Amino acid sequence: MALSRRTFTLLLATTPGIGGKSTTKVIARNELLNRTPEEFLALSPEAMREEYRLTEPAASTLVTDLESRIKRTFEMEKSLSELGVIWVTAADAHYPSLVEEMDPNPPEILYLYGNTRLLDGKTFCVLSSRNTMPADLNLIEQLAEKGILEAEILVTGHDRPEYQRSAVVPLRWGSPRILCLDRGFFDVLGPDLKREAFRTARLWRYEFDPTTDLVVSAFPPAASFKGINNQVRDRLVGSLSRRIDLVEVSPNGNMDRIARMALKCGRKVRVSDRCPYWRQYAALGAESIST
């Protein structure tokens, strides 16, 4: 059976050692050379390393037991399609433009599950560095509620108090939200993608609702958390937001980098006046959030 571009992308993206950048690079070069997936897979590992700059372990893994791996990829594609999961690479026309506009190093592949129309809406996020004080956690919740009541769409995460505090707010009001993950869908939503993302959220809604919400991840559906995944997740939350509210920001931390990226590309950024460094961001064009 011939490999479609979609199937071929999934095969590459789920091969150990081949990340999003390499996946996009292979697809782009194949299109340039008018080379089919089958023709690419017929190349030797040496040719893959030389022409596509794949690492030796990645090229070897890709061609080892290839027939079985292709079969498993078709099975995975069928399963994901039945669940409603889609995936896009940076080479695809429908890759979220918001991400490319802001992040100089955007994730090369994104997995999407749920209401993708939310990406075209008036999105916002409320970000805060780790170990946010209780009073500022309350502020996160207040800012999230204010945006939601003004018909904005919250972009948030699922596995830190700073994210969870905002992520439950849309559930109280029956509003949509976009959840960005630092791991694959199955680890968070379960094998059938029906579980709410974290315990507190299940007090409001036991099952995840893909007709209302959207989940986005830069990691394959079966991937677990590793290394700097949280930094990728944070940048994705910021990049998908047309407005960024910052409550607490650690100097030179990930939230600081996100704020500067957003200001550089002209996004609206607001910083709490309780943050000791808010004047620095104001000098770069940020607005203050008066508390």
- Residue 140 one-letter amino acid: I
Alpha carbon distance 236, 260 (integer Å): 14
Compute the Cα dihedral for 272, 275, 280, 281 and give only its sign. Answer: negative
Residue pair 291/272 in contact (Cβ under 8 Å)? The answer is yes
Q: Residue 162: which of 272, 269, 9 has the closest Cα?
A: 272
Q: What is the pTM of this model?
A: 0.90
**Both tokens assigned to 35:** 């080379």
What residue segments make up the domains of the chain, in order of their start? Answer: 5-83, 113-289
CATH number for 113-289: choose from 3.30.930.10, 1.10.340.30, 3.40.50.450, 3.40.50.20: 3.40.50.450
Phi-psi region of 223 (alpha: psi -120 to 50; beta: other; left: phi over 0): beta
Residue with tokens 């509210």: 245
State the pLDDT at residue 1: 60
State the pLDDT at residue 136: 94
State the pLDDT at residue 96: 94
State the pLDDT at residue 109: 87
Cα dist from 22 to 78, 87, 196, 250, whole Å = 24, 15, 32, 32
Alpha carbon distance 148, 165 (integer Å): 14
Q: Helix/strand/coil (H, E, C) string of the chain?
A: CCCCHHHHHHHHHCCCCCCHHHHHHHHHHHHHHCCCHHHHHCCCHHHHHHHHCCCHHHHHHHHCCHHHHHHHHHHHHHHHHHHCEEEEECCCCCCCHHHHHHCCCCCCEEEEEECHHHHHCCEEEEECCCCCCHHHHHHHHHHHHHHHHCCCEEEECCCCHHHHHHHCHHHHHCCCEEEEECCCHHHHHCCCCCECCCCHHHHCCCECCCCCCEEEECCCCCCCCCCCHHHHHHHHHHHCCCEEEECCCCCCCHHHHHHHHHHHCCCEEEEECCCCCHHHHHHCCCEEECC
- Beta-bridged to residue 216, according to DSSP, are 112, 180
Cα dist from 28 to 58, 145, 152, 260, whole Å = 18, 42, 36, 30
State the pLDDT at residue 183: 95
Phi, psi for 53 (deg, rounded to 5): 60, 30
Alpha carbon distance 135, 11 (integer Å): 47
Residue pair 221/111 in contact (Cβ under 8 Å)? The answer is yes
In this prediction, the residues of the chain whose per-residue pLDDT falls under 50 are none
